[in-house]
Amino acid sequence: MQQGIPQKFRNIHPASVGRFIRLLRRIVQTRQSGVFVNHLSKGMASIEKAIGEIKGGHTYVVDIARLNPEEQTLVFGDVLRTVYELYSGESQFDDYKPPKNVIIFVDELNKYAPARGQAHESPILQQVLDIAERGRSFGIILFSAQQFLSAVHSRVTGNSATKILGRSDSAEINEANYRFLDKDIKTHLSRLVPGELILSHPICRQPIKIAFPRPPYRQGRTKI
């Protein structure tokens, strides 16, 4: 930008550069919830630092509920990028060896990887697709939960080995994502009661019905 006028950046049109600057200024300066700071205090750590040193057997929760939508997307993308670089050998932490496997659980993944008809090409979507398609070879396992399977990008659902389905209405069941189910199972899927689920995995010849959670009398004793 020169004298307040956006300039062309490589092959990017000046109007696109100006729009990006306006969006970034709005997110960082006018509509942020406090996630962007000039300096980190002693009790604070960046996502790259916290996620870049994960330990085996630990659970890390990234709570983005109170962030604005734009901030949620940035944080989610930062977490995915950090984990992917950590396991693909692109990380700057050369003297650190991550655990053999890491499980990433995402609630409402359709927000970041929507179905093809709703999707807009973005770096966030590309990161999700990279993990869905190549993550297992690096030791990254992706779990997601959403209201509708049909709302998630087909390249994500197509690379999913395990699918667990709850009760769904007939309109959803008739979507292309449910072609792997027989007609009788689709009918049964619309009649499930709370706690009943249909599990599909390549190791099973047919989808099976499971109950969740297990009855209290079958939980077993907890060893201390």
Per-residue model confidence (pLDDT) at position 13: 77
Q: How far apart are CA 64 and CA 7, in angstroms?
A: 34
Per-residue model confidence (pLDDT) at position 118: 59
Axis crossing angle, helix 123-138 with helix 69-88, rounded to the nearest 10 = 30
pLDDT surpassing 50 at residue 224: no
What residue ranges do the domains of the chain occupy?
1-31, 39-144, 161-224
Per-residue pLDDT tens over the stretch 31-56: 667 677 777 777 777 888 888 888 88
pLDDT surpassing 60 at residue 222: no
If one counts every other C-beta atom within 10 angstroms of the C-beta of residue 148, the result is 14
Per-residue pLDDT tens over the stretch 159-176: 998 999 999 998 999 998
pLDDT surpassing 80 at residue 221: no
Per-residue model confidence (pLDDT) at position 91: 66
Per-residue model confidence (pLDDT) at position 220: 65
Per-residue pLDDT tens over the stretch 68-86: 888 888 889 889 988 988 8
Tell me whether strands 196-200 and 208-211 are parallel, antiparallel or unpaired.
antiparallel
SS3 91: coil
**Secondary structure of the chain: what % helix, strand, coil (to 5)?**
40, 15, 50
Report the C-alpha dihedral over residues 92, 96, 102, 104, rounded to 10 degrees.
Answer: -40
DSSP result, 138-189: HTEEEEEE-S-GGGB-HHHHHT-S-EEE----HHHHTSGGGTTS-HHHHHHH
72: CB partners within 8 A, 6+ apart: 64
pLDDT surpassing 90 at residue 28: no
Per-residue pLDDT tens over the stretch 91-122: 666 677 888 999 999 999 998 899 876 556 67
| DSSP letter assigned to residue 221 | P
pLDDT surpassing 70 at residue 3: no
Per-residue pLDDT tens over the stretch 119-154: 566 778 888 999 999 998 999 999 999 999 999 999
- Average pLDDT, stretch 207-224? 73
